[in-house]
Amino acid sequence: MRLHGEACRLTIYIGETDQYHHRPLYTEIVHRAHRKGLAGASVFRGIEGFGASSLIHTSRLLSMGEDLPLAIVIVDTEERITDFVSELDELVTEGLVTVEPVEVYRYVGRRA
């Protein structure tokens, strides 16, 4: 797949313990993005944060360190991102979903 120029960045902010049918929600999102043929997806684990619930989650407190914030970032064309966002209504019941325009400068995979 060639991706260059104007694109969109989809970022999904959820908690590490969020589940979908007894499996981590971030895993479900990444695997669905892969099945849809999106350009790529990465999951980033935060060390501290809070969201709409206003509860601070941090790795410094043992009790709260189990539900750290995650950001799942997916970049692809606007059309493909828009199509994928509709699937998130079923998956993301708590969290934040953003879509921003980006400029792709370089997108190169490993050689086989």
Q: Is the pTM of this model over 0.85?
A: yes
pLDDT in tens, 9-40: 999 999 999 999 999 999 999 999 999 999 99
Class of 5-104 per CATH? alpha beta
Fill in the DSSP letter of residue 59: T
Would residue 101 be called left, alpha or beta, if left means φ above 0 and alpha means ψ between -120 and 50 degrees? beta
Length of the chain in residues, anyone?
112
Domain-wise residue ranges, the chain: 5-104
pLDDT of 60 strictly over 60: yes
pLDDT in tens, 84-110: 999 999 999 999 999 999 999 988 877
